[in-house]
Amino acid sequence: MDEKYFPAAIEKKWQHRWQESRAFEVKADDPRPKFYCLEMLPYPSGYLHMGHVRNYSIGDALSWYKRLQGFNVLHPIGWDSFGQPAEQAAIKRGVNPRDWTEENIKHMSGQMHRLGISYDWSREIAAHRPEYYKWDQWFFLKMLERGLAYKKTSAVNWCPKEKTVLSNEQSSGGICWRCGTAVEKRDLEQWFLRITDYAEQLVNDIAEIEATWSEKVLKRQRDWVGRSEGAYIDFAVKENDRKIRVFTTRIDTIYGATAIVLAAEHPLLSDLLAGSALQADVEAFAQKVKAARAAKQDPTVVEEKEGLNTGALAVNPFSGEHVPIWVANYVLMEYGTGAVMSVPAHDERDFEFAQRYTLPIRQVIAPISHDQAQVEPVTGAMDQSVEMHQAFTEYGVLINSGDWGGKLSGAAITEMTEEAHTKGFGEAAITYRIRDWGISRQRFWGAPIPIVYCDECGAVPVPMDQLPVVLPETAEFTGTGESPLKSVAEFVNTTCPKCQRPAQRETDTMDTFVDSSWYFFRYCDPHNHDAPFDPQLAAEWTPVDQYIGGDSHAVMHLIYTRFWTKVMRDLGLVSFNEPVKRLLTQGMVTNQVEGTDDWKAMSKSLGNGVDPDEMIAAYGADAARVFVLFAAPVENELRWSEAGVEGAIRFLRRAYTMVWRWHERLSNPVDSRQTFKSEELSQGARQLQRKTHQTIARITRDFEQLHLNTSVAQLMELFNALMDFNAEPATASAGDVSTVREALYALVIMLTPFSPHASEEMWEGLGHQGGLLMSEARWPVADKELAQQEELEIPVQVNGKLRSRVKAALDVTEDQLRTAALADGKVQAALTGREIVKVIIVPQRLINIVVR
């Protein structure tokens, strides 16, 4: 140990030692309890940014905490290394995506080492290496076998800038998740995964993680799955044997249906119109709607409702009434059945549509008055259209609804659905907003989809024993929107696995979210050649105990990985429903944009980025990490402050100096290991001892909740208490030395999750050999009695206002307290001329004297 704190030297020294001793490599066959701490794997863009630093600092703090508590901690890292930027680099600068990616990985793992993150590097994985993506292909074939993967032509989301397809999740809000460009619709043949088969489970299993995932994330997942309970109802088409099935959540409003409205793409449309004079008009209209939708620029704009009467009529199965069939732009083919019953009186959209085309608006639900739960008086001839200024969309009581009149909405919904079922014109139904996951990408830099197209046999899966289908070394990167693989003849041309005749390979590659859907299972068994992972090994480590990442993946990655886990469960690979026990979505790291008052996420274009390497060079990794964890609660936005980092290094330096002052005395074997009863200690020592144990208790509690900022604050307080104690190493009594030892040990060990290098150095300075993990360093345990105050200071209030404080022994009785409080001078002053109504005593806490 040197006299001065030189982070650069200390950090290098310990990073080297950790690497040499393989300090963070773990095995599953270890008697200690296991803990799996996982951070979202990064895309190897080339450089770590502060968001990464924050992410890994949080995960590393928790890993060290658990490790020091005696857990066998799996803390792995890998690379989400397929994807767009590598291909862009190839298109723009002609570099090979593989070389570019490997370079970036090399640089970024260097940065991670310089940050001193305690990863088990023996388990490192990278998605772009064949030994990894072989298993993406294996999973795809398994899903194909089970009917969970299929191919279809459909209108897919197309990003015109990136020139590729996007999944629904990736084009949420109508904009590309990567570049923010408005997406278009294109008809393409694509491979899909049947995530909709798991829609129900994706909602129901939320119950298992409700307590440990943030409400923010769960809400977005629920919304994304979009479960909706209602009923299908068949409306017969008049003078035609066809039926139109609609989905509704409000069957209780069916007597108010004044039209049936179809989506422009509805398959029945051409049938309905066959031979009709309107056929050409309606088809032109449908084309116009589709074109408008495809070309839509601003996805947030809701277009004005437009429609056209087809001239055909449908029969309301409840009332027998004939209603016109319309086509309109506001009905979506993708949701429900692509047809709705239009109830203008009780649906805002139908109301707007009816107003525009002067369709009748018929009220069939009346509000319930709140005090009496009774129907408000309905006057006049309600079976006629009445004047309404807006739709009444709440539940109420049925009116103008034949025999159903007078029923409450809730009961009517149940009973009318039953009736529809009994009579055979409908049934209860649940629909979902979530769509199947389109995974085909017109890209080179991804896992090839293992399919061969044969003129004779059609789409043939590549046999398992021929995996992996390996990407060629390179291709021609033109950026045209077609997969570059199409131009690689050696790749495309193959033979049919079934009939051995010449055939062509699928040239689309998989969405990179496939790679990240199961990667953390691979960490459990990263070198397995025969399977994605050994289920036994996975069972040892998974589910993940704590997952940490940004909330930008609240829908995409986290819903895919939940789906993938359920599929793996059905394949017999795992035995649970949910892959992640606890999820933390960390806040953004922001910095002030120069010349403004705005704090925005760090970015190159805004010029407010901070380079982690520069911070490490200037202050050391430890100080940077302490600042990042101290400055804000983990889930809050973190505002970057160089002054804050300086504060962090100041604290580390002071702690280091304190250890330096004591290290000789504490390494001295003469008075090492002596223990004292607290009554043998000086008053100052007793105070320090109390602070030590209070701090241990509070930090331990805080760590369980990941309240890392307050943990650092507690450590600073403990340090301040050591300063206040102010004993001289040369002259201190054995009791004082023993107390200081306990406090310093606690300080150094509890500082480890935040500044591991400095802690290692200080721990060694205190006379321990072999590093924290090899010596007897253990997370300290608080002694409740030692943490207990000897004397209480009880605040005294008069009418809820603080007037004084009285000292009292721990075992003081209520009577004694009351007497002491009433005898207090300040209290008496506040009581003069008043009458005491009562005295409230909260044991150990407070006295409140109520006066009049």
Partner RNA sequence: GCCGGAGUGGCGAAAUUGGUAUACGCACUAGACUCAAAAUCUAGCGAGGUCACACUCAUGUCGGUUCGAGUCCGACCUCCGGCACCA
Please report, as residue ranges, which positions from 618 to 637 form the binding site for RNA (by CB under 7 A).
630-633, 636-637
**Identified binder of RNA from the candidate list 46, 472, 729, 795, rule CB under 7 A:** 795
Beta bridge partners of 366: 397
Q: Which amino acid is at 316?
A: N
Q: In the bound complex, what is the minimum distance in angstroms from residue 15's beta carbon to RNA?
A: 25
Residue with smaller CB distance to RNA, 500 or 832: 832
Residue with smaller CB distance to RNA, 280 or 723: 723
- Measured between alpha carbons, how far is 205 from 557 in angstroms, rounded to an integer? 17
Q: In the bound complex, what is the minimum distance in angstroms from residue 272's beta carbon to RNA?
A: 18
Torsion angle in degrees (nearest 10) through CA of 302, 303, 304, 310 = -120
Q: In whole angstroms, how far apart are CA 43 and each of 102, 182, 586, 633?
A: 12, 24, 17, 25
Per-residue x/- track, 125-164, RNA (CB under 7 A) = ----------------------------------------
Q: In the bound complex, what is the minimum distance in angstroms from residue 653's beta carbon to RNA?
A: 7
Q: In the bound complex, what is the minimum distance in angstroms from residue 129's beta carbon to RNA?
A: 32
Tell me how crowded residue 834 is: count the other CB atoms within 10 A of its CB. Answer: 13
Q: Does 480 bind RNA (CB under 7 A)?
A: no
Q: Does 190 bind RNA (CB under 7 A)?
A: no
Residue with smaller CB distance to RNA, 290 or 707: 707
**Identified binder of RNA from the candidate list 72, 164, 172, 755, rule CB under 7 A:** 172
Residues between 410 and 469 that touch RNA (CB under 7 A): 431, 433
Q: In the bound complex, what is the minimum distance in angstroms from residue 330's beta carbon to RNA?
A: 3
Q: Does 697 bind RNA (CB under 7 A)?
A: no
Residues between 74 and 103 that touch RNA (CB under 7 A): none
DSSP result, 753-777 = TT-HHHHHHHHHHTT--S-TTTTT-
**Identified binder of RNA from the candidate list 160, 405, 481, 647, rule CB under 7 A:** 647
Helix (H) or strand (E) holding 73: strand 72-74
Residue with smaller CB distance to RNA, 113 or 707: 707
Q: Does 340 bind RNA (CB under 7 A)?
A: yes
Query: What is the pairing mode between strands 580-586 and 544-550?
Result: parallel
| Residues 6+ positions from 153 with CB-CB distance below 8 Å | 187, 188, 189, 190
**Contact (CB, 8 A) for 434 and 225:** yes
Residue with smaller CB distance to RNA, 201 or 431: 431
* Block residue for tokens 């525009």: 356
Helix (H) or strand (E) holding 203: helix 199-204
Nearest to 201 by CA among 535, 579, 603: 579
Q: Does 639 bind RNA (CB under 7 A)?
A: yes
Residue with smaller CB distance to RNA, 284 or 842: 842
Residues between 310 and 339 that touch RNA (CB under 7 A): 329-332, 334-336, 338
**Identified binder of RNA from the candidate list 374, 720, 788, 828, rule CB under 7 A:** 720
Residue with smaller CB distance to RNA, 32 or 650: 650
Nearest to 89 by CA among 607, 479, 481, 446: 479
Residue with smaller CB distance to RNA, 472 or 795: 795
Window of 137-145, 220-228, 464-472, 679-687 that interacts with RNA by CB under 7 A: 220-228
| Residues 6+ positions from 430 with CB-CB distance below 8 Å | 200, 227, 228, 229, 230
**Identified binder of RNA from the candidate list 723, 781, 810, 823, rule CB under 7 A:** 723
DSSP result, 321-375 = -EEEEEEETTS-TTSTTSEEEE-GGG-HHHHHHHHHTT------EEPEETTTTEE
Query: What is the pairing mode between strands 78-79 and 368-369?
Result: unpaired
**Identified binder of RNA from the candidate list 707, 787, 820, 822, rule CB under 7 A:** 707
Q: In the bound complex, what is the minimum distance in angstroms from residue 220's beta carbon to RNA?
A: 5
Q: How many residues does the chain have?
A: 852
Q: Does 32 bind RNA (CB under 7 A)?
A: no
Residue with smaller CB distance to RNA, 365 or 712: 712
**Contact (CB, 8 A) for 55 and 635:** no
Window of 135-143, 224-232, 377-385, 462-470 that interacts with RNA by CB under 7 A: 224-232
**Identified binder of RNA from the candidate list 387, 801, 811, 835, rule CB under 7 A:** 801
Residue with smaller CB distance to RNA, 475 or 658: 658
Beta bridge partners of 546: 37, 582
Residues between 239 and 258 that touch RNA (CB under 7 A): 247-250
Window of 169-177, 199-207, 273-281, 682-690 that interacts with RNA by CB under 7 A: 169-177
Residue with smaller CB distance to RNA, 345 or 544: 345
DSSP result, 414-452 = HHHHHHHHHHTSEEEEEE-S---EE-EES-SSSPBP-EE
Decide: helix, strand or coil at residue 842. Answer: strand
Residues between 816 and 835 that touch RNA (CB under 7 A): 826, 830
Residues between 354 and 413 that touch RNA (CB under 7 A): none
Nearest to 399 by CA among 366, 421, 423, 448: 366
Number of residues engaging RNA in binding (CB under 7 A):
79
Q: Does 799 bind RNA (CB under 7 A)?
A: yes
Name the DSSP class of 408: B
Q: Does 550 bind RNA (CB under 7 A)?
A: no
Q: Does 305 bind RNA (CB under 7 A)?
A: yes
Residue with smaller CB distance to RNA, 571 or 850: 850
Q: In the bound complex, what is the minimum distance in angstroms from residue 836's beta carbon to RNA?
A: 12
Tell me how crowded residue 297 is: count the other CB atoms within 10 A of its CB. Answer: 8
Residues between 284 and 303 that touch RNA (CB under 7 A): 299-300, 302-303
- Measured between alpha carbons, how far is 726 from 250 in angstroms, rounded to an integer? 75
